[in-house]
Amino acid sequence: MNYVFRPHEANFRQWCIDRYPGIPERGREFLRHLDAPDFTPPLWRHQKEAIQRSIYAFEILGMKDVLTNVVTGGGKTAIIGAVIAYLMTVHDITQHLILVPNTIVRARLLDGFKPGGKDYVFEDFPFFTGANADLPYRLATHIMEPGASAAGIRSANIIIGNVHQLYEGKDNWRVVAENCDRLAIYNDEAHNTRAELYNELVNKLKPKRFFRLDTTATPDRLDGLHPDSEMVYVYGIREAMHDKVVKRVVVFRPEIEKVKFTYYDWETKQEISAEEVPWEQIEQRKIPAVRYTMNPQPMAQQIGIALECLRHQRITVPISEEDGKPLYKPLLFVVTLNIDDAKAVARTLEEQTIDGVPLKALLIHNQSEDEAKDEAMSINKDMRNCKYDAIVSVMMLREGWDVKNLSVILLFRKFCYTQIGDTKFSVYGPQIIGRGLRRINTRGRDWEQCHVVDHPIFRHEWLWEMIEAYQYPESLNPGDIIDQAKIPEPPEQAQLDLEATGAQAEKPLFDLSDLPPVPEPEVMEPIADWRSYLDDCQYELKGMVITQTIPQVLAHNLDSGYDTLDASEIPQIDPALLSTDAPSEPAELRDRLARRVRELARTALLEYDGQADTRQEVILRVVHEHLSRRFLAGIRLHDCDSTPLLQLVWHVFDQVKANFYNPRLIGSILASPPATQEHAEQAGHALRPA
């Protein structure tokens, strides 16, 4: 997404130095109030700058649709709250519409914007003063949700709801259209709304829109689309770690010496061949990352590394001076690609212990009972006594799910990005890492850590390189407490001296003015003929057992460099716990495969643009057709009674998933969807071993 504020940097700095000329006097008083020593608690530097830039863009530059790109955990709710207070105080805007992508984000914003909420932003920060000091307690909040009357919108000051609840033809839209004449709009987690749908809605609201602020940590998506607002501020993970606004991120990856591949026949289980290769030659084998990491032995080793990280996190938690107990309980968050693997991981975790205490895991996926989803939403309510040790998720719990004591993230999936010029764009990877970024105590001295357990087969170097690193001088062994004194401190954060003059005062802490132009992301070129592409895909039709030798584990401190862990001290997990054999009965095979296919259609769209909507049916038809043509001799999955063929589909399904997680393929299918009737050629293609 293009950064439009670059030409205005110098003038903006001078505007701050001159104490905000050219805006209404009440606006100048508001901004001076944010600078005052008695404004407590003080805003973070980046929060204040995001507010200043939004107001400057609106009042001085005449921009009505702006976007601030602020890291997860960077306090976007306070930024929205400040803009609401400014518009109410200075321009008498009394109706504010906050749009959210899902119920998780809505629940978080309810805590922030509903009087009496546990994190009510207008109680936390004194944005209203003087005659307006009691205004936060007189604000009316309306929640747009299924079954709720739209009548409350008429008298509400703050309206919160999902963008889908406002599409034309619904009661909410009618009431907004008829009763909201001067409306301020806020789109939280703006990247997660399908750009064309959101832009269509915003265009309909523009005659009533007084000002719009989009907030997100990841404005660009894999499909190349982004909100149509103008980006005026960027504050990423790198800067936030520099300021200690978010946790320190430490990435753990096994250093693999060699890998043994044992090939076997799926039906007879008889070994066909075996070979051992050095890790340096793995890339030549072109093994899908998901097939490698979900093989039981590598999977078990990754879980062992994660448990060692969790144990390390627990022994480093600060102790309460009041009762002598840890201030919080560190939790493990596991990200998998499908429900069967997630169940295997959760089951395996509950077979393990830390310091003799059995672990308890919460499994969350789109088929979970509402009770489990409610449990996930309530985990953050008691960080000291949470009954769970781990949360295992399948494409769930992304933006908006804020559990501050998530201390270890275990990745069993590969993240994707698109690249335009030298710039990489990704959404899902930063979102997942963002779940562990929020600090426990944002003002405390102890800088918490988030450990991320990665695997070199994922080739995530691009993601970790987005964050600059300093060098930590000594190795880190299991059980060691990191000596903070040995980690180079970032330079002291200088506050902007509004009384100073000259070039020094004009220079921002993170100067964006000299950055090279950021190219506009373009929609990825789709695959020209997706049917031919799928027909030509190569599949490995033999079973495979992977055994990897790990001499040590590298720990990449994203602010300080590489350390190592001794692999011999990592807990040993039995790989047999993670095996998921194919069912033997055709009826059960068909049922479980059908659920896998439907799950794939959903998650492939989430991977593509974050929206698992009615387009699932298109992807679902294509996946079923692909399985029929390539593996089932032209027979539909639901009609197949052949146990060997169904088991073949079961065993290659991870490879099928890897194909459909290609955003270029999904883009091509959506651009040229199949007809409602099945593709005419149903004469199954011959199987083509790799």
Burial of 225 (0-12, 13-18, 19+ CB in 10 A): buried
Q: Are residues 89 and 212 in the same domain?
A: yes
494 pLDDT above the threshold of 80: no
430 pLDDT above the threshold of 60: yes
Cross-strand bridge partners of residue 394: 336
User: What is the predicted pLDDT for the residue at 603?
Assistant: 83
Burial of 324 (0-12, 13-18, 19+ CB in 10 A): exposed
**Tokens matching residue 272:** 């066909």
Residues 6+ apart with CB under 8 A from 482: 316, 449, 476
279 pLDDT above the threshold of 90: no
> Residue 40's domain is classified under what CATH number?
3.40.50.300
Confidence of residue 664 (pLDDT cuts 50, 70, 90): confident
Cross-strand bridge partners of residue 553: 254, 565
Q: What is the pLDDT of residues 212-236, one digit of tens each?
A: 999 887 665 555 556 778 999 999 8
513 pLDDT above the threshold of 70: no
Tell me if 512 is assigned to some domain.
no
683 pLDDT above the threshold of 70: no
Q: What is the pLDDT of residues 546-568, one digit of tens each?
A: 788 777 776 666 665 556 666 66
Q: Are residues 257 and 228 in the same domain?
A: no
518 pLDDT above the threshold of 50: no
* Domain-terminating residue out of 188, 204, 235: 235
Tell me if 10 is assigned to some domain.
yes
Tell me if 270 is assigned to some domain.
yes
Q: Are residues 39 and 184 in the same domain?
A: yes
Q: What is the pLDDT of residues 348-385, one digit of tens each?
A: 999 998 888 999 999 887 666 667 667 777 777 788 88
CA dist 319 and 179 (Å) reads 53
Q: pTM for the full model?
A: 0.76
685 pLDDT above the threshold of 50: no
Q: Are residues 15 and 138 in the same domain?
A: yes
CA dist 413 and 430 (Å) reads 13
Pairing verdict, β 209-216 and 183-188: parallel
* 338, 394 Cβ separation under 8 angstroms: yes
Rg (CA), the chain: 27
Q: What is the pLDDT of residues 107-129, one digit of tens each?
A: 778 888 988 877 899 999 999 99
Confidence of residue 32 (pLDDT cuts 50, 70, 90): very high
For residues 616, 618, 619 and 620, what is the CA-based torsion angle, rounded to 10 degrees? 80
Domain ranges, residue 611: 581-671
Positive or negative, the Cα torsion across 484, 490, 492, 494? negative
CA dist 124 and 401 (Å) reads 20
Identify whether 41 is preceded by a cis peptide bond (ω within 30 of 0).
yes
Q: Are residues 565 and 585 in the same domain?
A: no
Q: How far is CA 339 from CA 423, 575, 600, in A?
A: 33, 18, 10
Q: Are residues 228 and 257 in the same domain?
A: no
* Domain-terminating residue out of 517, 534, 569: 569
Per-residue DSSP letter, 455: -
**Tokens matching residue 639:** 């009609």
CA dist 503 and 115 (Å) reads 44
Q: What is the pLDDT of residues 46-94, one digit of tens each?
A: 999 999 999 999 999 999 999 999 988 888 999 999 999 999 999 999 9
Q: What is the pLDDT of residues 632-643, one digit of tens each?
A: 989 999 999 999
Q: Are residues 332 and 437 in the same domain?
A: yes
Q: Are residues 363 and 274 in the same domain?
A: yes
User: What is the predicted pLDDT for the residue at 500?
Assistant: 36
CA dist 183 and 180 (Å) reads 6
User: What is the predicted pLDDT for the residue at 369?
Assistant: 63
CA dist 516 and 522 (Å) reads 18
Tell me if 282 is assigned to some domain.
yes
Tell me if 514 is assigned to some domain.
no
* Domain-terminating residue out of 212, 235, 258: 235
> What's the structural domain count of the chain?
3
Mean predicted confidence (pLDDT) in 172-201? 77
Q: Are residues 221 and 252 in the same domain?
A: no
User: What is the predicted pLDDT for the residue at 48?
Assistant: 96
For residues 18, 20, 25 and 28, what is the CA-based torsion angle, rounded to 10 degrees? -110
Poorest-pLDDT segment among 19-23, 281-285, 366-370, 645-649: 366-370
Q: Are residues 586 and 557 in the same domain?
A: no
Pairing verdict, β 406-411 and 418-420: unpaired
> Among 126, 171, 119, 133, which residue's Cα sits nearest to residue 150?
171
User: What is the predicted pLDDT for the residue at 183?
Assistant: 93
Residues 6+ apart with CB under 8 A from 233: 5, 46, 49, 50, 53, 54, 68, 69, 70
User: What is the predicted pLDDT for the residue at 498?
Assistant: 35
Q: Are residues 49 and 184 in the same domain?
A: yes
Tell me if 457 is assigned to some domain.
yes
CA dist 80 and 190 (Å) reads 13
475 pLDDT above the threshold of 60: no
CA dist 184 and 121 (Å) reads 18
User: What is the predicted pLDDT for the residue at 402?
Assistant: 73
User: What is the predicted pLDDT for the residue at 411?
Assistant: 92
In this structure, the number of other CB atoms found within 10 A of the CB of residue 401 comes to: 24
Q: Are residues 133 and 275 in the same domain?
A: no
In this structure, the number of other CB atoms found within 10 A of the CB of residue 363 comes to: 22
**Tokens matching residue 267:** 């039906």
523 pLDDT above the threshold of 80: no
Tell me if 384 is assigned to some domain.
yes
The per-residue pLDDT of the chain, averaged, comes to 79
